[in-house]
Amino acid sequence: MNRRALQQLNKAYLDDALQVAVYGASPVGIIVLLYEGAIKALQQAERAMAEQRFDVKSAMISKAIDILDGLREVLDFQQGGDISQNLSDLYLYMKSRLSVANLKNDPAILVEVQGLLEEILSAWKQVEKTAAMVPQKAVNAGF
């Protein structure tokens, strides 16, 4: 994971214990943590919106957007090809939708983006599970 991505991650996560977990995680594990963090931020934003705590809502939506920026930053367009481009486009779409949700106080948009993140997260969890089954020597050979 490159330095810019780790800085983006630190911006999104200020919790010391989580930073320790992140630095000990595999690259796929970090992606999983990012998705989980974005989903959690959107859940908190939805609660804050319902409670009319608009400062918290905005902060949590900003956190989710920061995470999407970090995810987009680490895309490898040369290796990932169409998949990387599609993810980039999806991250931009989600960021746009979150901006609208923030402006209009629309919880349905938060739920929409959260659903997209959860769908992609399930795929990353499968990749993480598969990677854990591969001997470490073989995994390191790919980097």
- pLDDT category at 143 given cuts 50, 70, 90 is very low
Q: Does the residue 101 lie in any domain?
A: yes
- Using an 8 Å Cβ cutoff, are 65 and 98 in contact? yes
Other CB atoms within a 10 A radius of the CB of residue 84 amount to 16
Q: Does the residue 7 lie in any domain?
A: yes
pLDDT of residue 20: 46
Distance from C-alpha of 38 to C-alpha of 61, rounded to nearest angstrom: 9
| Per-residue pLDDT reduced to its tens digit, 17-59 | 455 455 567 788 888 989 999 999 999 999 999 999 999 999 9
- pLDDT category at 131 given cuts 50, 70, 90 is confident
| Per-residue pLDDT reduced to its tens digit, 82-114 | 999 999 999 999 999 999 999 999 999 999 999
Q: Using alpha carbons, select from 120, 134, 111 the residue that is nearest to residue 83.
A: 120
CATH of residue 46: 1.20.120.340
Q: Does the residue 142 lie in any domain?
A: no
pLDDT of residue 68: 96
- Using an 8 Å Cβ cutoff, are 40 and 48 in contact? no
Give residue 72's Cα distance to chain centre.
Answer: 9
SS3 state of residue 142: coil
H-type alpha helices, the chain: 3-12, 16-24, 27-50, 54-73, 77-104, 107-133, 136-141
- pLDDT category at 129 given cuts 50, 70, 90 is confident
What residues make up the domain containing 125? Answer: 3-136
State how many domains the chain has: 1
pLDDT of residue 26: 79
pLDDT of residue 5: 62
